[in-house]
Structure 1
Amino acid sequence: MIYNLRGKLTACDINFIVVECGGVGFKCFTSLNTAKQLGEIGKEINVFTHLAVREDAMDLYAFATTAELDAFKLLITVSGIGPKAAVAILSELTPDRLALCIASGDAKSITAAQGVGKKTAERVVLELKDKIGSIATEAASVTVSNLQKNIDNSASAEAIEALVSLGYSQSDAAVVVGSLDSSMSVDEMIRYGLKELAKNL
């Protein structure tokens, strides 16, 4: 198993990179998020890899961070999600954002990934909701933990639903509402939520 590759970035396309190590160029499929982080052609880089073995191919997938690699490995455990779909999801969402989407039940944001439909996104949320702690950074883990505590509170759920009906994504609404005191009224949560969400526009 190849854990990482350190070498010169010799090519960077929309869905793959080539890393030259010891005179050998390794073609690695990757996410747009990783491709953006790697910089210019000719730069020395280090990427973390996963080798996907099929009957007809051996494909190498590379990521700029171990968090993104861990998210990739977690995604491919979901039934119906192969390496290409996992890369598509990670091209749309960072590992932290993915963790927040799963914690808040925001399947809609996951469907923004190319080739990922509503049912597949819902399966990702369902199958990974108890496993997301392994992919979120420390700061995001606190937010995810707050979300999971407050999401079952009926006032919180009502406030999130109201914010979503006003056009905000479920994960954004859930993050804001999840940070509030659960003893607040629904109206207070909505007012505060609108104020906080407006700051990010």
Structure 2
Amino acid sequence: MIERLSGTLAAVELTEIVVDVHGVGYAVSVPMSTYDRLPRVGQPVTVLTHLAVREDALQLYGFATAQERALFRLLMTVSGIGPKTALNVLSCISVEAFCRAVAAADMKALVRISGIGKKSAERLVVELRERVAGIEPSAGLGAAAGAGALSAQAQDAIAALETLGFRTETARKVVQTLCQELPAADQSAENLIRRALATLNR
């Protein structure tokens, strides 16, 4: 099993990269979440991988983090979810936001993912609700009571910033800072989004 590739980034497309490892080029399918973190072509790169073995082909899938790969593998255990759909999920929503949506049975958030309809969303909740905590511990249903947990308004603000193209880590950091600085009365999703954009666009 190929678990990781380290080499030179030889080529980049939106859904596939080529990693040159000692003169051998490996084609690796990647989600947008990984694509956004890639270095420039010609620079060193390391991706965590999953090797899918089919009768007619061997296909490598690459990920920037262990959490992304773990979620990809977990999604593949769901009836009707294949590699293409699993990659699409990772391209449309962060690991944290997906796990939170499944744990909370947030059907509206799940059906907003391209390629996931109502029936697929229901299967995701039924089959993964008790398992996503293994990937994202904060996704558990009791997590909201934990110290430092973000409010629903803050989570909505982060999701909106992700939709606008900001990285999850960046959006979360800015929103967390705002929540620490602002009084509770000023922490509506709309106000957090407006202030976060003002900070991010400086």
| TM score, norm. by length of structure 2 | 0.71
Alignment partners' CA distance in 1, 2:28 and 2:192: 35
Q: What RMSD over aligned residues (CA atoms) do the two structures have, in Å?
A: 2.6
Matched residue of 2:5: which SS?
strand
Q: Where does structure 1 lack aligned partners over 5 or more consecutive residues?
A: 150-159, 173-191
Percent sequence identity over aligned pairs: 37
Alpha-carbon distance, 1:143 to partner: 5.5
| TM score, norm. by length of structure 1 | 0.71
1:62-101 matches, cutoff 5 A: 62-101=62-101
User: Which position in structure 1 is the counterpart of 2:172?
Assistant: none
Paired residues of 1:70 and 1:134 also in contact (CA < 8 A): no
Distance 1:93 1:47, change over 3 A: same
User: Which position in structure 2 is the counterpart of 1:20?
Assistant: 20
User: Which position in structure 2 is the counterpart of 1:114?
Assistant: 114
Paired residues of 2:111 and 2:117 also in contact (CA < 8 A): yes
Alignment partners' CA distance in 1, 2:35 and 2:74: 20
After the TM superposition, which of the residue ranges 83-92 and 115-124 deviates more from structure 2? 115-124
User: Which position in structure 1 is the counterpart of 2:170?
Assistant: none
User: Which position in structure 2 is the counterpart of 1:144?
Assistant: 140
Tell me the number of residue pairs that the alignment of Structure 1 and Structure 2 aligns: 162
Alpha-carbon distance, 1:90 to partner: 0.4
Q: Report the residue type matching 1:63 in the other structure.
A: F
- CA deviation profile, 1:6-48 (whole Å, cap 9, x unmatched): 0111111111111110101100111000000112111101111
User: Which position in structure 2 is the counterpart of 1:154?
Assistant: none
Paired residues of 1:5 and 1:19 also in contact (CA < 8 A): yes
Does residue 2 of structure 2 align to residue 6 of structure 1? no
Q: Where does structure 2 lack aligned partners over 5 or more consecutive residues?
A: 146-151, 161-183, 194-202
Alignment partners' CA distance in 2, 1:108 and 1:194: 26
Q: Report the residue type matching 1:10 in the other structure.
A: A
